[in-house]
Amino acid sequence: MEAATYILFGLGCLGATDIALYHSFSHGIRSHPDARAELVVHSLRGPTYAALFLVIPNLVLQGFYFWCLLALFVFDVVISIVDFALERESRRLLGGLPNGEYVLHIIIAMLFGGLVTAVCLEAAAWPTLPTRIVYEPAAVPDVLRLVMAVMALLVLFSGIQDAIAARKLYAVPLQGDDHLKQGSTT
């Protein structure tokens, strides 16, 4: 899983840039009520990528477990599609989705396609092998595998933060909701 590990590392770096630059500093979506549905979707990405950061550089998933890995990829594609559909509306009151974030998402999507391709090529025999999980580190530096384990913890923590923020924001009315409520009481 050498190529897949390097691609996943690149994805992790770009994803961290997206979270830090656009979700946190630029738009602060964790404090914006219109972003609560987007935050729910983002909270699902945390455990998804935590699993990928731990599995891809360290494990061989044979038989049924290989298909579980592919299902995780499909789940992430669904997360991405829903996220893209929600972002425009959730960021409307913040000036819309920045062009840089849009371009970053395109690059991330292309790299994700490369990740899935690399996994399928490097693991071509895995689906036909007996079902089991084998610890077999990828031929990458140990420090990279350690960094990716730290990335797994960070992305999981980020997903938990998104879930907590979404839960808190569901108690806050949307800006349009205030006007509707005022109009219905007069």
Look at the pTM and tell me if it is higher than 0.95: no
Taking alpha carbons only, the member of 34, 35, 14, 13 closest to residue 161 is 35
pLDDT-wise least confident of 62-66, 115-119, 166-170: 166-170
Specify the number of domains making up the chain.
1
Containing domain of residue 18, as a range? 2-185
- Amino acid in position 63: G
pLDDT of residue 179: 43
Provide φ and ψ at 133, rounded to 5°: -110, 125
Residues 6+ apart with CB under 8 A from 77: 112
pLDDT over 60 at 102, yes or no: yes
| Neighbour tally for 63: CB within 10 Å | 15
pLDDT score at 61: 97
For 32-56, the pLDDT digits (tens) are 777 788 889 988 999 999 999 999 9
Look at residues 140, 80, 68 and name the one whose alpha carbon lies nearest to residue 110: 80
Mean pLDDT over the full length of the chain: 87
Helix/strand number for the chain, H first, E second:
6, 2
Other Cβ atoms less than 10 A from the Cβ of 143: the count is 8
